[in-house]
Chains A and B, each alone.
Chain A
Amino acid sequence: MLAPGLLWTALFCLLPILVVLAVSFATRGTYGGVLWEFSLENYRDLLHPLYGRILGQSVLLAAMTTGLCLVMGFPLAYYIARLPPRRQALWLVLIMIPFWTNFLVRTYAWIFILRTEGLLNTLLLQLHLIQAPLDLLYSNEAVLLGLVYGYLPFMVLPLYAAIERIDPALIEAAWDLYADRWSLFRLVLVPLTKPGIIAGCVLVFIPSLGAFLTPDLLGGARSMMVGNLIQHEYLVARDWPLGSALSLVMMLIVTGSIVWYLRAQAPRDGERGAG
């Protein structure tokens, strides 16, 4: 019964990845296409400062997105976890609705708000708070905003699941022992919700790193991320070997963070078994 599904995934996922792997060691043909001559040049090209800058910028933007989502998501998740059960369910559905709304639509909403003739500039001009429209769109900040907006639910849901499991008596005990808010957070909440924090961070970091639409629509020429570079190499520059090498590097970073995540999750089961 497994065979048809397994064959399907092997044929249309595993095999294509192997093709990418093979092509990443090939040479670019004169008019695009692939020449099957072994070379490491594509990987050496990745060290070029231009590619290095885009790769570094992508990791930085993804890390900043993760950090901002954590800072915004933790208080929200904590608040929801402390509500009465029926209101918890309502808030969770409210978090899930944007999460399931078409990503293009959500990104377009920010274009509508931020562009030169957009809602925000119109509003600020009418209120005479500014004299000339601000350049808000097509910047790294706009990309960051779009990424946080897009992936915040990925952070809130696992954090909520982790906080909800904490025994309220532990928090009361901390208050009784005169813990201040910061100590409560640092000494009680963080250690107890570590698996949830890591899960949320990985779930936000991975799609942010691989983002294509957000930087494509909200970013300018200087806010390119790896996803855009890969698309550019494949569809515009038609350098498939280089594009393949880039995709593999991105996949390695992603796989690395997933392995780290699984390692970090593993002790939790032990703790639960002991407790």
Chain B
Amino acid sequence: MKMNGAGVWLRGISGAVMAFLYLPILVLTVFSFNDSRLSAVWQGFSWHWYGVLWHDAALLAAAANSLLVGVLSTSLVVLLGLPAAMGLERLRGKGVRVVETIFLLPLILPEVMMGVALLLFFVMVRWPLSLATVVIGHAAFNLPVVVVLVRARLQKLDPRLEEAARDLGASAWETFYRITWPLIRPAVLGAALLAFTISLDDFIVTFFVAGPGSTTLPLRVYSMIKSGLSPEINALSSLLVLLSMGLVGLSLVLQRR
């Protein structure tokens, strides 16, 4: 009977914590359909604010920038991270821990620290802040994401598969292309998707290293929030919630395969 009492108690708390996690997102979405400028009083259903989004030129430009940064930085981290993960997997000896730590560094650093360090670095080497510096910043903090996820998959591979290919006369490149790549492809795609999602969502590092004309979607949302609230932000937020859910769902599916 004691167990049952504890069970009810636990279920109540767990339900309350879940409500705490979801209610804010839920009310935000509901009120994005509100037909009113005074955003907290319900006036009836409307798609109005989604229409406003569609005609917001500054917002669309920021979204285009975000997409460009996401695609470029993700391509970069896959090209750098895939060989790095394979190299780490083959590395033996004392150096492994040091190399690992260097790779993980961007994950350990507080984001604000990463942002100011990159800003200071770009200023010192006189590299003007632009969309390029944003791409570099994103590729810097996303590299460990790809390295860690791809390496986790590599560790699960049966080494005999590659050995067999080599024994049968395949070159190193052929072994990679015909044996290793098909086996790790889902993990690489999942990691790329995750890196892309993180890039789309990043605010802090972008905030420090973005120059004039390189406003991304989160930077635009931030200035919208700062300059006075409008139900337009609710509509935009709901779309972003939907987008992250879709991307994460896809990434989970890819990594599970």
A→B interface (CB under 8 Å):
1-6, 8-10, 12-17, 19-20, 23, 72-73, 75-76, 78-80, 82, 93-98, 100-106, 108-113, 115, 117-119, 121-122, 149, 152-153, 175, 181, 206-207, 209-210, 212-213, 217, 226-227, 230-231, 234-235, 240, 243-244, 247, 250-251, 254-255, 258
A122 to B106, CA, bound (A): 43
Decide if B113 touches A4 in the complex (CB within 8 Å).
Answer: no
B→A interface (CB under 8 Å):
2-3, 6, 10-11, 13-14, 17-18, 20-22, 24-25, 27-28, 31, 38-41, 79-81, 83-84, 86-88, 90-91, 99, 102-103, 105-106, 108-114, 116-121, 124, 136-137, 139-140, 143-144, 147, 197, 201, 203-204, 208, 218, 221-222, 225, 229, 233-234, 237, 240-241, 244-245, 247-248, 252
Decide if A98 touches B116 in the complex (CB within 8 Å).
Answer: no
Decide if B244 touches A101 in the complex (CB within 8 Å).
Answer: yes
Decide if A97 touches B248 in the complex (CB within 8 Å).
Answer: yes
Interface CB pairs A-B, < 8 A, 27 = A5-B83, A5-B84, A9-B106, A12-B121, A12-B137, A13-B105, A13-B109, A14-B102, A20-B113, A20-B120, A72-B13, A78-B10, A94-B22, A100-B197, A102-B237, A104-B203, A111-B225, A117-B38, A119-B27, A149-B20, A149-B24, A181-B2, A230-B116, A234-B119, A247-B116, A247-B117, A254-B108
Taking the closest CB of chain B, its distance from the CB of A79, in whole angstroms, is 4
Known: A16-B118, A111-B229, A112-B234. A210 touches B203 (CB 8 A): no
Decide if B137 touches A100 in the complex (CB within 8 Å).
Answer: no
Q: Which residues of B lie under 8 Å from residue A251 when comparing CB positions? A: 109-110, 113
Decide if B3 touches A175 in the complex (CB within 8 Å).
Answer: yes
A210 to B109, CA, bound (A): 9
A186 to B28, CA, bound (A): 39
Decide if A113 touches B91 in the complex (CB within 8 Å).
Answer: no
Known: A20-B116, A95-B21, A210-B110. A105 touches B28 (CB 8 A): yes
A226 to B116, CA, bound (A): 13
